[in-house]
Structure 1
Amino acid sequence: MSSNNSKNLTVAKFGGTSVADFQAMQRCVNIIKNDPATRLVVVSASSGVTNSLVRLGQENVSEQERIQTIDSIRAIQLNIVEHLSNKADFIDQIETLLALLSQTAEQQAAHYSAKTADEILSFGERMSSTLFAEIMRMEGLPGECFDVRQVMKTNSLYGKAVVDVDELKSNCSALLKATLENKVVVTQGFIGQDGLGCTTTLGRGGSDYSAALLAEALDADNLAIWTDVVGIFTTDPRITSHARAIKEISFGEAAEMATFGAKILHPATLIPAMRHNIPVFVGSSKEPEKGGTYIQKQVESRPTYRSIALRKEQTLVTVKSPAMLHASGFLAKVFSILAKHELSVDLITTSEISVALTFDNPPGSTQAQLTDQVIKELGQLSQVKVENGLSLVAVIGNNLHNAQGTTSTIFNTIEQSNVRMICQGASQHNLCFLVNEDAANDVVEKLHHKLFA
């Protein structure tokens, strides 16, 4: 990702491992220095901090656990401060934020609210962006820290707030664009602000989405997502050592991968990039010289099989009622209950008297996606069965619905495994199915060996 054209604009996002410590942040600053087009930098919280903040935002946290958790966050941030030239100033800044965090966490322990959980979660990015801007200045880059909440206005759906894209664009023009002409601006991913002036979050992984929204609002030429892996792989390299990096991939394929569990990109990230046709680069901040994956509208190769994605922690809900037989409006009633609770369904299959739905239940959420109240309301319509401990496997590629032998190749390969649900045909880019969580890695490994050997 380099450019000699000063008129080009790249928005760069650095994830948690990329800003984990002082040395990691220094590597990121070198990447920025090597690409003069990078003018806006979006950072996540330092690695490990968000998990601690998620715990502080949950119910039933004891005073002792609260103190220990804040101490662990303090250790991560002060390890970075140790290397700063004006250390005393930044110790004060971090301690001020930690004192505010402690106070907010106490309020949460006394009276849980989703609004306070979002306030707690915002502290990670607020600390990392402050420290990152100072390291840029130390390394000779004219940088400043900008509070993204000034421009990223959202509704009040705490935990998964929706951004007002039009307002973001006008706010960026008024408050950000001119500064980018002569400074590199560092800001926070993941967080926003509602009309009441309260801090909101865009959901776990929302830093990528923040960066994409800012790139769109600023008419950027490129979006660079810097993480801890060298691009996007044919599957998770932790599952099989035979996984290999993909040089280029289309928006459609990448969107399916992100949606169905590839952890490199947040599922919503590509929506702004696709709307505005902004190429996205994914690379490793530890090894920038190794290149990465380019995601763009047009790609040279469109193979039948591109990758295999895996998403764990899935919940399968089966709603069964004889009233469905030859009846109209039953599905509408089911979906009106889900809409009322603002629940998003991933996969759906139907028979004459039942409908099966899957829901993502991501680890680290401060709130359960599928509450007892939802189950109770569905139960008033019909018989409801809830199954947990499932994983979703998605084979991603091109024209899978037309490719001869695709289904037999896939299911013959995993014939020893119990497949719980299959979805095919809704998209030319994927074939999905559910398996038991304890068999998921083995299923992916076998499929990868068959399709990519």
Structure 2
Amino acid sequence: MPDLVKVAKFGGTSMADFNAMRRCAAIVLSDPDKKIVVVSATAGTTNLLTAIAESRSDSEKLDLADQIHKKHLEICSQLTGNEELLNKVTLLLDQLKDRALGGPMTPQYRDEVLSYGERLSSTIFAEVLREQAGEKVSWLDAREIIATDQNHGRAEPDIEQIEVNARKKLLPNLKNRCFVTQGFIGRSKSGVTTTLGRGGSDYSAALFAEAVNADVLEIWTDVTAVYTTDPRIVTEAKPITEISFNEAAELSVFGAKVLHPATMVPAIRKNIRVYVGSSLEPDQPGTWILKQTKSRPVIRAISLRRNQTLLTVHSLDMLHRHGFLARLFKVLSDHKISVDLVTTSEVSVSLTLDTDVTTPGTGYLPDEAIRELKTFCEVEVQRNLSLIALIGNNLHTTSGLSGPVFSSLEGINIRLICHGASSHNLCFLVDEDRAESVVRTLHEKFI
């Protein structure tokens, strides 16, 4: 194994077309320590594959498959001496077309169809690299390494088995070789293809980095750094040079889309430094995510997460009795509903859910769950809310913080406040249509 190992992940926009792939190849080849390269599907391909998996019309499926076919063959056509590559890509595209027409609409079928995006992009990108670096580049099927359970759509990785697989199939070959592999996909014990959930390529890269004890995990995307808030909302937002693991984890959970929320977990477990940079502007400084940073400001960044649902349940059975919360959370667990924030009073509980109907298990509140809750409590559901989080350090012990924060928002209806559970965030709910103005106000005052 080499002295220094880096895992580099490139997102969909970085794989968008031949020129984008060439830029990414230059980034990889500029650093011989980049030993594992994880790629997403080409931009827009996962959306097309999702439409195939959800369509009930064979003609529509074929039309969507043709769009994917043309996009990938166009990239292949720009590579010299590409007959072998063309054969590999055409075989995958033919398999996709057959699979698209052949399956019942099950979660397993959906995962199988979605897997073709990363399998296609990685096959092509490996050849783009190989064209410049020769036989030192190998294509790797991520499913040989990323072992998961069978929870299709949001599979949980088997960390121990992933490390075993990496020791057998990766570590002995890293010294003189660069592996190109796929994000997002894995394989269950029964040999069935699984996916880690939308945006899971970052997580895949982190799992690879953890399995090989990498020194650095690089996330190459279409933004130059992690910013103090979304620059599309606040034009004065500033790039952050360094941010701690804990701050980055909070930031990703509370809406920052630069990092997938699960990415930080493997990095924290193995203390792997994480770098976020732009594949479009690789010379820009980017952001380092570290265990310890030189500065520890009270407020580092402000994040916004839209499409929040506030569920409030009310029951006199809560008063001085045990078991109510257990019953409440059992219903939510049975329906695989993910809860974010929770506040309680003597007879009420309010909690937030992330309303994402496209990904099962991310907080979507089905009618059946509401009916079950109504058998033992009153239920109120409010939608069209946004969650705003102030991310920083020692927020729970910094005196005089809450006053200035909320006095600056006079006239804004704040539905829920969560403060003190974490030293790294203070968060609250506001109406969706007021959210951006709140972010601008807070950024101007505190950052």
TM-score (norm 1): 0.94
Query: Which residue of structure 1 lines up, in the alignment, with residue 230 of structure 2?
Result: 236
Q: Percent identity?
A: 49
Shift of 1:364: 4.3
Query: Which residue of structure 2 lines up, in the alignment, with residue 186 of structure 1?
Result: 180
Q: Residue type of the partner of 1:123?
A: Y
Question: SS at the partner of 1:289?
Answer: coil
Aligned equivalents of 1:20, 1:382: Cα separation in 2? 50
Query: Which residue of structure 1 lines up, in the alignment, with residue 112 of structure 2?
Result: 119
Query: Which residue of structure 2 lines up, in the alignment, with residue 332 of structure 1?
Result: 326
Query: Which residue of structure 2 lines up, in the alignment, with residue 155 of structure 1?
Result: 149
Query: Which residue of structure 1 lines up, in the alignment, with residue 219 of structure 2?
Result: 225
CA displacement, residues 357-414 of structure 1 (integer Å, 9 cap, x when unaligned): 1111237437773322222222222122222222111110111112222212222222
Aligned residues: 445
Choose the corresponding residue for 2:60, options 58, 65, 75.
Answer: 65
- 2:424 counterpart of 1:433: no
- 2:10 counterpart of 1:17: no
Asked if 2 retains the 8 angstrom alpha-carbon contact of 1:54 and 1:365, the reply is no
CA displacement, residues 118-163 of structure 1 (integer Å, 9 cap, x when unaligned): 1111111010000000000112252111001011111111111111
Q: Residue type of the partner of 1:100?
A: Q
* Map 1:15-414 → 2, pairs under 5 A: 15-58=11-54, 60-108=55-103, 111-141=104-134, 142-362=136-356, 364-365=358-359, 369-414=364-409
Aligned-residue RMSD, C-alpha: 1.8
Asked if 2 retains the 8 angstrom alpha-carbon contact of 1:179 and 1:185, the reply is no
Question: SS at the partner of 1:402?
Answer: coil
Aligned equivalents of 2:279, 2:142: Cα separation in 1? 23
Q: Residue type of the partner of 2:29?
A: K
Asked if 1 retains the 8 angstrom alpha-carbon contact of 2:184 and 2:200, the reply is yes
Gapped regions of structure 2 (runs ≥ 5)? none
Aligned equivalents of 2:56, 2:48: Cα separation in 1? 11
Aligned equivalents of 1:223, 1:261: Cα separation in 2? 21
Question: SS at the partner of 2:231?
Answer: coil
Aligned equivalents of 2:12, 2:402: Cα separation in 1? 38
Aligned equivalents of 2:396, 2:125: Cα separation in 1? 47
Aligned equivalents of 1:168, 1:149: Cα separation in 2? 10
Q: Residue type of the partner of 1:121?
A: L
Shift of 1:336: 1.5
Asked if 1 retains the 8 angstrom alpha-carbon contact of 2:312 and 2:381, the reply is yes
CA displacement, residues 217-275 of structure 1 (integer Å, 9 cap, x when unaligned): 10111111111111100011111111110000111101100111100111110111111
Shift of 1:196: 1.6
Aligned equivalents of 1:23, 1:214: Cα separation in 2? 26
Asked if 2 retains the 8 angstrom alpha-carbon contact of 1:308 and 1:394, the reply is yes
Gapped regions of structure 1 (runs ≥ 5)? none
Shift of 1:103: 3.0
Asked if 1 retains the 8 angstrom alpha-carbon contact of 2:336 and 2:361, the reply is no
Aligned equivalents of 1:291, 1:383: Cα separation in 2? 52
